Amino acid sequence: MNIRPATEADRDAIWNIFHEVVATGDTYALDPNISREDALAYWFTPGTYTYVAEEVPVGDRVAVPRKPTVSPTVVTARQMLGTYILRPNQSGGGSHVANAGFMVSASARGQGIGRAMAEHCLSEARRLGFRAMQFNYVISTNTAAIHLWEDLGFEIIGTLPSAFRHPDKGYVDVHVMYRSLLD
């Protein structure tokens, strides 16, 4: 797997994952019918760092010189596994706290893609000088995410009662999670 900054050429693949994730309506507080245009505007908002995780086929080592058989076509055909965004959670006096959002392709679940992107994200956040990271909206029924964030050092600092209307479970709680990046 390779995790790298997203480019314009990734927009179609990102939209495929984004659409797949929000259409279920149970992990993000986003309109499940959001348009491609609005989705990509959100994921590529100015001031946001956007990354993708892609599968690297065996033998496809683009960094190796003198490998003329690797054409751009082959590179863009790599399978997109997931995408994430990293950005300041607030402006002005709040801009030292990062926020992030993660999406994994349904066909790539259970392979540690989310964890790999999260670890990459924490590393990038430190490199960019952020002092902490905050998740504003972790839906309490999304236990896989909560366990992953706790495993990576995040704590639930507050719970918003009935703040999310789950498509199957009705009104459920939402957690605010936070971790320092100083140490």
Question: Which residues of the shown chain bind a copy of itself in the complex (CB under 8 A)?
Answer: 22, 25-26, 28-32, 34, 90-97, 131-132, 134, 136-137, 157-167, 174, 176, 178, 180
Q: In whole angstroms, how close is the CB of 47 to a copy of itself at the nearest point?
A: 11
Tokens of 99: 């926020």
Closer to a copy of itself by Cβ: residue 28 or 149: 28
State which residue, 15 or 137, has the beta carbon closest to a copy of itself: 137
Smallest gap from residue 36 Cβ to a copy of itself (A): 16
Note whether 77 and 100 are within 8 A (CB): no
Give kind and range of the element (H or E) at residue 75: helix 72-76
Residue type (1 letter), 70: V
**Could you tell me the smallest distance in angstroms from the CB atom of residue 72 to a copy of itself?**
36
Beta bridge partner(s), residue 99: 87, 134
| Selection from 52, 54, 55, 21 nearest residue 39 by Cα | 21
**Smaller CB separation from a copy of itself, 28 or 102:** 28
**Closer residue to a copy of itself, CB minimum distance, 109 or 131:** 131
Distances (CA, A) of 115 to 36, 43, 73, 142: 26, 20, 29, 15
Nearest approach, Cβ of residue 13 and a copy of itself (Å): 23
